[in-house]
Structure 1
Amino acid sequence: MTLQTILLPLFVQVGLTFLLGFWMATERRGVFRRGQLHWRDIALKQTPWPGRAQQVSQAFQNQFEAPILFYVLVVLALATKKADFAFVVMEWLFVASRIAQAFVHTTSNHVPTRGQLYMFGVIVLFLMWAIFAIRILFPSAFGVL
């Protein structure tokens, strides 16, 4: 697998995080501009943000939970040369689940659907880590993984 092929899903995930971050800033700026909130209301990390601003903010914050493990794994897989076609497919599945979960979070915010998408991504990420660990710890016993 080429470096670009392996890193493209990571770049897409990073792009999603920045997109949500800029969107969050725009929503929050609008809240202040409309006078719905004053900076003193949030100075000590209170969360009195109106619904839409809070919704986008939480979608942004979600990009710093499970994706951290994704970033670390991609770097380790590159460094150890364990990123193959199956790894890249699972990368895309994880990133697609994050995009879909962020979409649901910032639109309908249907919690059951959002939760299912989150769990799908976490399961994919768990499998990625499990396969990677097996390949590292037992290279000759499980060479086909």
Structure 2
Amino acid sequence: MQGQILLPALALVGLTLIVLLQIPYRRFKAAFEGKITAKDFELGESNRVPEYVSLANRNYMNLLELPIVFYFACTLYYLLEAVDIKVLVLAWVYVILRLLHSLIHLSYNNVIHRLIAFALSNLVLACMWLFLVSPILLVAGV
């Protein structure tokens, strides 16, 4: 069961890479439509960059921020041999909520819906860390 904690982490990596591919796709699409040029990205993104192009980049950044704490938790659970069914369920729920967040963000982008998915994913991640405290203290001899 210990190795199964790596599967949701792998799934989140997959989601991150799919979102990463959205960035050049959307940029090239906008460039071919004549909406932007390479100059619009010299110092980040100019005001001319369409929202649908910027959203992919922003969602990608979201997937590189707090999920690093998820990856670290999964790694610790694996190394401490502390994986159980509740942790696996939480890990998969986290990934599903992050997927939902990305789907909302990259499609119809309703801020309230996105906030709900984001907030719930953070709550799930906090629970994962709460359950990790005991195994960490045990190994630390506290």
| TM-score (normalised: structure 1) | 0.88
- Report the equivalent of 1:128: 128
- The equivalent residue for 1:81 is 81
Q: CA RMSD in A?
A: 1.5
User: Hey, what does 2:44 align to over in structure 1?
Assistant: 45
CA displacement at 1:82 relative to structure 2? 1.1
Amino acid across the alignment from 2:23: M
- Counterpart position of 1:27: 26
Identity %: 26
1:100 CA drift (Å): 0.6
> Deviations 1:33-56 (Å, cap 9, x if unpaired)?
222112122111134320111122
Could you state the TM-score of these two structures normalised by the residue count of structure 2? Answer: 0.90
Corresponding residue number in structure 2 for 1:17: 16
* Counterpart-to-counterpart distance in 2, 1:138 and 1:2: 18
What are the ranges of 5 or more consecutive residues in structure 1 without an aligned counterpart? 140-145
SS of equivalent residue, structure 2 residue 125: helix
Structure 2 residue runs of 5 or longer lacking an equivalent are none
In 2, the alpha carbon distance for the partners of 1:7 and 1:58 equals: 26
Bigger relative contact order, structure 1 or 2, given CA contacts below 8 A and separation 6+?
2
Q: Which amino acid aligns with 1:129?
A: W
Q: CA deviation at 1:129?
A: 0.7
